[in-house]
Structure 1
Amino acid sequence: MVITQIIILFISIFNNHVSARDCTVDILRPDSYFFNYFYYYYDDIPTRLIVPKENIHITSIKEGDKTIWNAGRGPKCFMLTIRLASDRPILLHISTLSQESSGYNLYKVAGEWRFDLIDTKEKATKALFEQRHIPKNRRIFTLDFFITKEDDQFAVMRFDIFKIPVRFHVPKLAHHATEVVYRRSSLWKATKKDEHCITVASHLKNLEPILICVVISDYNEITVLYFEKKDYFWRKLDPANFETRLKEAFDHVCRYAMEESRGLGDKLGGVEEMMDTS
């Protein structure tokens, strides 16, 4: 959910500059033509992530033939996180295009999806932690987010959200990242028991990370650290400065989107003129 809040900031900056197609997603069989689909462990919790492809919004969510959520006139979904029990969906987090809320949580009980059982942060966190598969034996490693290919220690997820390039590094089950580095530069190192990095989320520019957040867990609470790459060095930011840097970084993306939109409009106008004179 921390990652969701960060991506909502991405979307809030960019959302007014694009139009998107409305789609329905089946959480059991997402259509690869419309959606990117990932499977991973998030803090030892089996998870699926569904992210719409370019210019796609989720307005309805189904489980097989049954509709379990509909946006109606409310905010649309830009990312769907599914927690699993025995490889079946049991928890859903619907990330929506709204600055007022990070989205909706649904909990499956006795075959029915319900909002009311996890309608507070405390209830949602408790339900989430119940799905953990805490390994008895853990393999300690250093997560280098300079590496862009998945290996036996961590998964790498790369996707665009409305042309915004994002990359996640997520440790695999039974692998605990107790240090986060970029090549030879160490950004964070565990200092207490059970402390480990569960995600490094990067905003990319020219395929290089320029702004990142490092999500830390000790199985009791989650902490987020923010960093900016400046003159080949990484420096720590507070949340307010991180948000400011994000807005600055995405300003060029918004300008590009508007220029691209105007260019497409000019081309369409030219086609219409040709058709009118033919």
Structure 2
Amino acid sequence: MKKIIVPIDFSEHSEYALRTAVKLAANGNAEILALHMLEMSDLMLTASDGLQYEKASFFIKLSEQKFEKFLDKPYLKNVKITPIIKHFKVFSEVNDVAKKHDADIVVMGSQGASGIKDFFIGSNTERVVRYSDIPVLVVKSNVDDVNFENVVYACDFSEESIKAYINATKMFNYLNAKMTLVYVNLPNDSFKSTAEIEKQVVNFFTKADGSLDKMKDVYYVADYTVEDGILNFAKKQGADLIAMPTHGKKGLEHFFEGSIGEDVANHATLPVITFKI
């Protein structure tokens, strides 16, 4: 892990993300790209009118000063950190920065379940998750220890999710973390017998790993929703982190049909990391 992107909006939650990124960076002396997106309209940025230009210049200067002050923290003194200000309109463009700088992961803060309707669905965090081609780690509080020892990876064991699984395996091997996989069986049209699930899991590992060694790390649980199944299992396992694949701009499919992935990241108290299918 060489480069970590942290979107900064000056909130308490973006500081949680920044602190988490610093701890991750320490594992491999990685560089942190602190990204502030100044969401200004094209009209203001390209205006030839004197007043509009002055307004744009004022807000840009103010943002730069605020950003500099935000990054003036003791815990950043010995960290390789590069501040980046982009005049973006939407947070989905974080992926463009990731591609340009060949970043490895995005670490982003989220408000979490606090009674505010749709705070995650349709939010900046959700947009980053949906558009990012690299893993996105979502945190909602200060993460004391990023040496994740016990990771629960939710999986539907479909062939198209193999790429996400392989990328997750590489990352957790790097972090020296144990990954336990979970399949949630539902009491509806999606229900599968144990034999059906095992057949699918065997096919998955045969194509993904070329062996069935990971079969011992797979659990099948039954619950009324996939979200409840994942969260309940993670709690039972004493997990440090929840991981799952996402289908990007198409949303979450199959096992994560609808907004399941967002709901998990929304309601989980644990950090959640997503991997693009």
TM-score, normalised to structure 1's length?
0.26
TM-score, normalised to structure 2's length?
0.26
Higher RCO (CA < 8 A, seq sep 6+): 2
Larger helix proportion, structure 1 or 2? 2
Larger strand proportion, structure 1 or 2? 1
